[in-house]
Structure 1
Amino acid sequence: MAVKGKRQVPHVLAVPFPAQGHVLPLMKLCRRIASRGIKVTFVNTEYIHAKVLAAMSEDDKKQNPIQLISIPDGLPAEDDRSVGFELMESVRRTMPENLSNLIKKINGRNSDEKITCVIADITVGWIFDVTQKLGAESVAFQSAPAAGMAMILQIPKLIQAGNLDINGSVMKNELINLSDNIPPWRRNKLSWSFPGDLKTQTIVFECFMDAAKTAHHAKWLLCNTFYEIESSACNLIPNLLPVGPFLSTNKSKSSSIGGSFWQEDTTCFSWLDEQPIGSVIYVSFGSIAVFSQDQLNELALALELSGRPFLWVVRSNLANGSHVKYPNGFQERVSKRAKIVEWAPQEKVLAHSSIACFLSHCGWNSTMEGLSTGVPFLCWPYFSDQFHNQNYICDVWKIGLRLNPNKNGLRSRHEIMTKIEMLLSDYGIKANAVKLKEMALKSVSGYGSSSQNFETFIDSLKN
């Protein structure tokens, strides 16, 4: 029984969108919140919950400061969760009731530990209709850059001005520019763009318009960025709290930070320890990107021809959903200077002294991790905000180079090799990368901007 007049203990319920790029950063943030003595319950779908637990060691499970629980996603067990829109529709249909029942159950257990705040991914912000009725404060979470949210908030004005139609297609053959200090968006390179697939684009565009409503109704919008790198975009969003980058304080090479969908291969560290300082090309395209076998052949041969050591993350479905077939004799020829793994503990890998550069899809989590470790980029965006992130990396921050496709849409081995050599001989890019690393670390320490914003949020939870 609650003691009369006793202050309510803060209890945060966190709800990510069920995808790797959304679960991992929110879990990092929640660990930080829990380190301040606040109870945190993290809700994944049953399918994602099982993947996260399977990827964690028993020690990590015991030491995890947040409670991990699950709810159904509404799909039959045998369905393919990689087909995104069926999952999105099912989650939207079933999550409100499942979440409502879960919160009532938690609140009924102990009146001193009722849910006081729900942090929901911006893409599932419609659950705030449920949580507000149950008396919890609404806080939105953005795993992508502030610039993306600034653009989303401008959608109604852009439609009214005739820049966009109701499907999110650019009506005028021009750049969309929000500010002099934010890279412009090109036709077919918007976060919701799916050239040639209007149906998919319309569904995604509608999700972004819902996200805009969520941002307006939430008390705070927590974002994995820091003010100094996106000040113009941050200034366009009234209730934004930039609290990134989300960096692990756990430096142990054998321990996971939690939130990964794949078991991290820590054998790469002993291999990295044997490589010269600043020599290794790290190649990873995140959790979603897939490529044709022809394109993967070009990449493999470029890495071989470079003559440099490389660590390549090759998911089991990287070749258009299938296992990669390497060029004849490739693995034997590169065996003495290559390490190929299915999944890597990326943040810790990027912080290793042997890493020279990061060949990346430019997902925002990868961008922030590379930026925070002072590593130059070779940019190979796949979809969504990754093209705009590339513009930040190459044009604004000047810490990387683009890998450009040829007339057949392939990044050729010659293009990849040439850009590797250009990047690794460009001391200006390396110097810029080190400066950004210093800015990132300063922002999350002491009186840094993100550190102070985080304190503002913690104070609001406790008072």
Structure 2
Amino acid sequence: MGIPHFLCIPFPVQGHVNPLMQFSLLLVKHGCKVTFVHTEFSLKRTKTSGADNLEHSQVKLVTLPDGLEAEDDRSDVTKLLLSIKSNMPALLPKLIEDINALDADNKITCIIVTFNMGWPLEVGHKLGIKGALLCPASATSLASAACIPKLIHDGIIDSQGLPTKTQEIQLSPNMPLIDTENFPWRGFNKIFFDHLVQEMKTLELGEWWLCNTTYDLEPGAFSVSPKFLPIGPLMESDNSKSAFWEEDTTCLEWLDQQPPQSVIYVSFGSLAVMDPNQFKELALALDLLDKPFIWVVRPCNDNKENVNAYAHDFHGSKGKIVGWAPQKKILNHPALASFISHCGWNSTLEGICAGVPFLCWPCATDQYLDKSYICDVWKIGLGLDKDENGIISREEIRKKVDQLLVDEDIKARSLKLKDMTINNILEGGQSSKNLNFFMDWAK
């Protein structure tokens, strides 16, 4: 009997590639063999960002084409998704055959996918290969997607995923109330919602739905399905190994020069795009705060110039603006005071594990749900309110930052939550036990 050989296939966006790569490194540590499938475009991108230093490790990288042309915009997630679903499935059996031919004693024994990539589980199922999902969002997001048929049946949402009325509901008795406006598929079009419904059916083929979370963070979510298995927080490596953009590490030396707990870190993840007026308002807010800051203003995905122009009266003299940053290192730096975040799940988890208070600025999908956990359930952050024009004003940002920085209760809860979360992956911790359980299953 050979060792377990995992084929890991993420949806090719940064927020999916990262956690699956972290999980792959964890599998290797447990003595497994891992082959990781990038799209040709993604692999080229990680190579140009200098992130491709995995040759020395046990994770073997292979590629499949995503079916798009070189000049197509891959930040159009629906377009990317539909292209992958119509092009890749026919190519996967051959890839599996080729990988197996290289090492007949250690053939692929399990396929692990992230969300939007359920179809390889169907391919694996036909070939008699086991499968699992690694969910890159919160367990609560996954639980809400799993409840879609019931939500439609109960008349809470219609067949397009839209709430029939504004209300707060509970997905299961021990879960916090969820505002029906905050379901993770908010803002999706009909095509995407239909895909989501189909995707949940396909993901049933996975024997486990592994979640990058801990039982204590969102205990209620685990009562929705026995497939859920919390194995987080995934913290195997720094994320630079799978970054799509080159990280600017000069900000770390700059951070060393700043007083303890003084710096505001601002980042909206790898997909969010900000309205130009809001962008200017944020810039002027950072001037108004008069505190040291690091602001990640990401290059547009396809190397075009940044669409946003800074306000002409923006000085930014106290801060550092970078294109892409080593986020974990920044969040864990003693100079850091707070994190202005879009509340994507990876960022939320990294902030929790660094014990940093949040200022929440959700932009889309599951981020509104994450924000309600941060502000209302864990109480480790504050939300920002929009004015009558739908803009978060510089005064509002200053007011909330000032409020957050003097709130000792939030700071204390942040540190307590950090310890509780990290304890899960230590020897004997709940997530650590769950991972061993998963390993026994895989073997």
How would you bin the TM-score normalised by the shorter chain?
over 0.9
Mapped partners of 1:151, 1:311: distance in 2: 34
Aligned to 2:210: 222
SS at match of 1:234: helix
Mapped partners of 2:240, 2:32: distance in 1: 18
SS at match of 1:378: strand
Structure 1, residues 407-463: CA drift from partner, whole Å, max 9, x if none? 10100000000000000010000000001100111011011111111111122222x
Aligned to 2:321: 340
Query: Do the aligned residues in 2 keep the contact of 1:8 with 1:113 (CA within 8 Å)?
Result: yes
Query: Do the aligned residues in 2 keep the contact of 1:55 with 1:263 (CA within 8 Å)?
Result: yes
Aligned to 1:243: 231
Aligned to 2:115: 122
Q: Which moved more, 1:30-39 or 1:433-442?
A: 30-39
Asked whether 1:161 is paired with 2:154, we answer: yes
**Cα distance change of structure 1 residues 373 and 106 upon mapping to structure 2, 3 Å threshold:** same
Q: TM-score, normalised by structure 1?
A: 0.92
Mapped partners of 1:187, 1:119: distance in 2: 30
Query: Do the aligned residues in 2 keep the contact of 1:183 with 1:391 (CA within 8 Å)?
Result: no
Asked whether 1:35 is paired with 2:16, we answer: no
- Give the CA deviation at 1:295: 0.7
Mapped partners of 1:183, 1:291: distance in 2: 29
Aligned match for 1:100, one of 93, 102, 107: 93
Q: Give 1:12-23 correspondences, 5 Å limit.
A: 12-23=6-17
Aligned to 2:222: 234
Query: Do the aligned residues in 1 keep the contact of 2:379 with 2:410 (CA within 8 Å)?
Result: yes
Q: Which moved more, 1:109-118 or 1:178-187?
A: 178-187
Mapped partners of 2:104, 2:413: distance in 1: 52
Query: Do the aligned residues in 2 keep the contact of 1:123 with 1:210 (CA within 8 Å)?
Result: no
**Cα distance change of structure 1 residues 311 and 248 upon mapping to structure 2, 3 Å threshold:** farther
SS at match of 1:42: strand
Aligned to 1:284: 267
Structure 1, residues 277-325: CA drift from partner, whole Å, max 9, x if none? 111000000011111221111111111111110000001239x984432
Aligned to 2:344: 363
Runs of 5+ consecutive residues of structure 2 not aligned to the other structure: none
AA partner of residue 243 (structure 1):
I
AA partner of residue 437 (structure 2):
T
Asked whether 1:328 is paired with 2:319, we answer: no
Mapped partners of 1:356, 1:64: distance in 2: 35
AA partner of residue 283 (structure 1):
V
AA partner of residue 168 (structure 1):
G
Structure 1, residues 326-345: CA drift from partner, whole Å, max 9, x if none? 22253xx433x211100001
Aligned match for 2:54, one of 52, 61, 70: 61
Asked whether 1:9 is paired with 2:36, we answer: no
AA partner of residue 285 (structure 2):
A
Mapped partners of 2:34, 2:24: distance in 1: 7
**Cα distance change of structure 1 residues 52 and 447 upon mapping to structure 2, 3 Å threshold:** same
AA partner of residue 217 (structure 1):
L
Asked whether 1:205 is paired with 2:193, we answer: yes
AA partner of residue 196 (structure 2):
F
Aligned to 1:253: none
- Give the CA deviation at 1:51: 1.1
Mapped partners of 1:273, 1:244: distance in 2: 29
Asked whether 1:258 is paired with 2:241, we answer: yes
Mapped partners of 2:68, 2:199: distance in 1: 23
Aligned match for 2:182, one of 183, 189, 196: 189
Runs of 5+ consecutive residues of structure 1 not aligned to the other structure: 1-6, 195-199, 251-255
Asked whether 1:414 is paired with 2:395, we answer: yes
Q: TM-score, normalised by structure 2?
A: 0.96
Mapped partners of 1:36, 1:424: distance in 2: 41
SS at match of 1:312: strand
Aligned to 2:286: 303
SS at match of 1:148: helix
- Give the CA deviation at 1:35: 1.4
Mapped partners of 1:461, 1:11: distance in 2: 9
AA partner of residue 197 (structure 2):
M
- Give the CA deviation at 1:249: 4.7
SS at match of 1:401: strand
Aligned match for 1:145, one of 138, 143, 153: 138
Mapped partners of 1:57, 1:286: distance in 2: 17
Aligned to 1:439: 420
Aligned match for 1:453, one of 410, 434, 437: 434
Mapped partners of 1:430, 1:248: distance in 2: 26
Aligned to 1:197: none
Mapped partners of 1:239, 1:26: distance in 2: 18
Query: Do the aligned residues in 2 keep the contact of 1:357 with 1:377 (CA within 8 Å)?
Result: yes
Mapped partners of 2:299, 2:326: distance in 1: 17
SS at match of 1:62: coil
Mapped partners of 2:280, 2:35: distance in 1: 44
**Cα distance change of structure 1 residues 201 and 377 upon mapping to structure 2, 3 Å threshold:** same
Query: Do the aligned residues in 2 keep the contact of 1:290 with 1:321 (CA within 8 Å)?
Result: no
Mapped partners of 1:107, 1:117: distance in 2: 12
Query: Do the aligned residues in 2 keep the contact of 1:375 with 1:433 (CA within 8 Å)?
Result: yes
Asked whether 1:428 is paired with 2:412, we answer: no
- Give the CA deviation at 1:267: 0.8
AA partner of residue 238 (structure 1):
P
Q: Which moved more, 1:233-242 or 1:400-409?
A: 233-242
AA partner of residue 75 (structure 1):
L
Mapped partners of 1:326, 1:182: distance in 2: 42
